[in-house]
């Protein structure tokens, strides 16, 4: 005797199938994939994080806001259905953690970038007021490491080279002099400062080009600088890493020194800032624009190179492209005071 097909689907079997589906979904949600995910975070007021000697937290309804991004390993479920999180973007691990680096090393780099951006923000803000800031070169700071060269995975961005084979190095020019005469195949000992600690890295040079007798390890460097400020500025970023909050912190320092740069309006800002005031492009602009929008700010200052992408996610938020700190101040000076 044959049973009707629908009688095979009993409540008990439905319950088992449902439980199995829940287990599968839970596993997909918990198990990490091989990709990273960036998620928006609502923009935060900068005032509680910044403390300036002799300054005061500004009062009123306005304020300077900084934006950041949640970054973590994507779950398998997020990998399969990236639209499950609003504003999420997936990236291959190689784009977040460069080849040869560990995630912990990348975290240290990010923290060092934030620390340096805070110092530079203070330098730029105080110089804009005509205050004297003393600069001292302290070494050669690594800004890029070429894939396939000896330095890959051994030297990291933001490492500061302070000696070569025991010979002190105070600048990129000093590094170039110290490497003069190092033919391909030479074992070179680099003394670097990484995350505040000294360590040595031994690398064997390779030819700069085919047939060259000049040995290199495959790095690009810029001057490492220390700054002596005329007053004390401290910034506690509460674990946020990376250099992109520099512009916002520089604006907030002026606010706390009594300069009403926001004119009572809520202003979000992002951009890596250099000691000469230039504002450079940053990553995660989609998520940062969403975070600024969700905070209900009146305008969002972004680097020129990020402006077109920011406009895609603005949805009515005013996007203001800036090339440098003075341009940001000029825009804010033209804002009518909030009624």
CATH of the domain at 300: 3.30.230
Q: Are 173 and 263 part of one and the same domain? A: no
Under-70 pLDDT residues of the chain? 1-34, 74-86, 90-91, 93-111, 239, 241, 338-339
Q: Are 125 and 49 part of one and the same domain? A: yes
Q: In this predicted structure, what is the pLDDT of residue 278?
A: 95
Q: Are 271 and 240 part of one and the same domain? A: yes
Q: In this predicted structure, what is the pLDDT of residue 1?
A: 43
pLDDT in tens, 43-55: 999 999 999 999 8
Residue 28 CA to residue 35 CA, distance in Å, equals 14
Q: Are 288 and 308 part of one and the same domain? A: yes
Q: In this predicted structure, what is the pLDDT of residue 248?
A: 95
**How distant, in Å, are the alpha carbons of 16, 37, 39, 71 from that of 25?**
14, 18, 21, 22
Q: Domain boundary at 187, 204, 226, which?
A: 226
145 half-sphere exposure, CB direction, 13 A CA radius: 21
Q: In this predicted structure, what is the pLDDT of residue 70?
A: 75
Q: Domain boundary at 226, 248, 281, which?
A: 226
Q: In this predicted structure, what is the pLDDT of residue 329?
A: 96
- CA nearest 334: which of 285, 289, 301, 291? 301
pTM of the model as a whole: 0.77
Q: Are 213 and 234 part of one and the same domain? A: no
Q: In this predicted structure, what is the pLDDT of residue 337?
A: 73
Phi, psi of 278 (to 5 degrees): -65, 145
Is residue 328 situated within a structural domain? yes
- CA nearest 43: which of 78, 67, 10, 25? 67
Q: Are 124 and 235 part of one and the same domain? A: yes
* Six-digit token string for 45: 């007021």
Q: Domain boundary at 193, 226, 259, which?
A: 226
Is residue 146 situated within a structural domain? yes
3-class state of residue 243 by DSSP? coil
Residue 51 CA to residue 35 CA, distance in Å, equals 37
Burial code of 267-291, b = ≥16 C-beta within 10 A, e = fewer? bbbbbbbbeebebbbbbbbbbbbbb
Q: Are 264 and 294 part of one and the same domain? A: yes
CATH of the domain at 141: 2.30.42.10
Question: What is the number of domains present in the chain?
Answer: 2
Is residue 26 situated within a structural domain? no
Write out the residue range of the structural domain in which residue 142 sits.
134-226
Residue 107 CA to residue 195 CA, distance in Å, equals 10
- How large is the angle between the packed helices 325-333 and 103-128, nearest 10 degrees? 60
Question: How many helices, marked H, and strands, marked E, lie in the chain?
Answer: 9, 20
Is residue 34 situated within a structural domain? no
Q: Are 175 and 320 part of one and the same domain? A: no
Q: Are 197 and 276 part of one and the same domain? A: no
Q: Are 72 and 44 part of one and the same domain? A: yes
């Amino acid at each position: 005797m044959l049973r009707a097909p629908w009688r095979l689907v009993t409540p008990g079997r439905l319950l088992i199938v449902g439980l199995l589906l829940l287990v599968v979904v839970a596993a997909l949600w918990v198990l990490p994939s091989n990709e990273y995910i960036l998620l928006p975070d609502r923009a935060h007021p900068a005032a509680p994080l910044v403390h300036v000697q002799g300054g005061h937290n500004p009062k009123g309804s306005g304020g300077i806001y900084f934006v950041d991004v949640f970054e973590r390993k994507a779950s398998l479920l997020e990998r399969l259905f990236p639209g499950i999180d609003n504003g999420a973007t997936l990236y291959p691990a190689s784009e977040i953690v460069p080849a040869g680096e560990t995630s912990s090393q990348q975290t240290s780099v990010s923290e060092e970038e934030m620390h340096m951006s805070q110092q530079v923000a203070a330098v730029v803000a105080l110089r804009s007021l005509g205050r004297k800031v003393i600069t001292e070169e302290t070494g050669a700071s690594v800004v890029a490491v070429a894939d396939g060269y000896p330095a890959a995975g051994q030297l990291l961005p933001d490492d500061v080279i302070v000696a070569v084979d025991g010979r002190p190095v105070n600048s990129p020019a000093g590094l170039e002099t110290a490497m003069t005469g190092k033919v391909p195949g030479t074992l070179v000992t680099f003394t670097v400062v990484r995350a505040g600690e000294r360590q040595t890295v031994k690398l064997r040079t390779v030819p700069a080009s085919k047939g060259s007798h000049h040995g290199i390890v495959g790095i690009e460097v810029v001057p490492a600088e220390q700054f002596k400020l005329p007053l004390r500025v401290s910034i506690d970023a509460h674990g946020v890493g990376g250099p992109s909050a520099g512009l916002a912190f520089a604006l907030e320092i002026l606010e706390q020194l009594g300069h009403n740069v926001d004119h009572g309006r809520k202003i979000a800002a992002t951009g890596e800032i250099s000691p000469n005031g230039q504002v450079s492009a940053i990553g995660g602009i989609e998520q940062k624009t969403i975070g600024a929008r969700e905070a209900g700010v009146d305008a969002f200052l972004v680097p020129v190179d990020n402006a077109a992408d920011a406009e895609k996610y603005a949805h009515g938020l005013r996007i203001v492209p800036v090339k440098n700190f003075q341009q940001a101040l000029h825009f804010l000076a033209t804002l009518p005071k909030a009624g």
